[in-house]
Structure 1
Amino acid sequence: MITNISLVTVYCLDQDATRDFYVKHLGFKPGVDVPMGPGFRWVTLIHPNQPELEVTLMTPGPPLDDDAATFVRRQLEAGKMGGLGLRVDDCKATFTELSAAGITFLQEPSDRPYGVEAVMRDNTGNWLVLVEPKNS
């Protein structure tokens, strides 16, 4: 029986820079960082409020074939990759704090049927959706 989601992948162009971005700006903690062969590292992040879920930071390369890796790299460089949905307790305050830190937002906080949502980019160009659920 499946009990939960334990791992999600976010593609990036530089594992160190992306790890540092998530740690510095978004409150994640470094997880695993181990070499897995020539040019391949297994790098994860953990959010302290959800330690059972690791975010793997993967660069476009193996196990992707060359065409797929090139496509992912181009999508990242164009800022067209989706990343994560992140729950926040106050979307407007989080928007203000991250904007002051120089984070790029594609959408300011907006009311939605499910709560307040803002869309930002991480340092690689992934879209991250910040959601303050209704009644939170």
Structure 2
Amino acid sequence: MNIALKYAHITVNDPDESIGFYRDALGLEVRNDVASGGFRWVTLGSPTQPGLEIVLSQPHGGRSQADGDRLQELVTKGALQNVGFSTDDLDALFERVRASGAEVLQEPADQPWGPRDCAFRDPSGNMVRIQQVAKA
């Protein structure tokens, strides 16, 4: 029996603004864009991982008003868990993301726990970390 991660959710305020970051700055491809009940769920993924998708969803999408309000507060504070990516060319990706106007939290640096990485905030305030992997 095999098991694999299929979806990872990221809560965002504005799907269009977030698509600009995740597609244009990070280089992911939009795989699906579904509207329902005044909200949207957008899936993106990397061509190198065809079975894994990130789902961008709005705080109130599919939730009660009270739960959506609480989640919105956490998004606004930047208090949700970060998302991590890996790349074989950290410096080039860092420059592309920085050129997009994303807020830089950390320039590429060697970390004491091992990887060389950097960090940004997406347009909704979520922390996005990117680490270098060895080139094949």
- TM-score, normalising length: structure 2: 0.85
Counterpart of 2:32?
32
Stretches of structure 2 that go unaligned for 5 or more consecutive residues are none
Q: What is the CA–CA distance in structure 2 between the aligned matches of 1:94 and 1:43, rounded to whole Å? A: 22
Q: Deviations over 1:46-97 (max 9, x none)?
A: 2111111111111011433333311221222223333420101132332233
- TM-score, normalising length: structure 1: 0.85
- The one-letter code matched in structure 1 to 2:31 is G
Q: What is the CA–CA distance in structure 1 between the aligned matches of 2:131 and 2:44, rounded to whole Å? A: 20
Aligned-residue Cα RMSD (Å) equals 1.9
Counterpart of 1:109?
108
Q: What is the CA–CA distance in structure 1 between the aligned matches of 2:30 and 2:96, rounded to whole Å? A: 22
Aligned residues: 134
Q: What is the CA–CA distance in structure 2 between the aligned matches of 1:78 and 1:114, rounded to whole Å? A: 29
Counterpart of 2:94?
95
Q: What is the CA–CA distance in structure 2 between the aligned matches of 1:18 and 1:98, rounded to whole Å? A: 13
1:3 aligns to 2:6 (yes or no): no
Stretches of structure 1 that go unaligned for 5 or more consecutive residues are none
Counterpart of 1:42?
41
Conserved? CA contact 2:12–2:58, under 8 Å? yes
- The one-letter code matched in structure 2 to 1:118 is C
Counterpart of 1:74?
73
Cα 1:2–1:39 shift into 2, 3 Å: farther
Counterpart of 1:61?
60
Conserved? CA contact 1:82–1:128, under 8 Å? no
Q: Percent identity?
A: 30
Counterpart of 1:51?
50
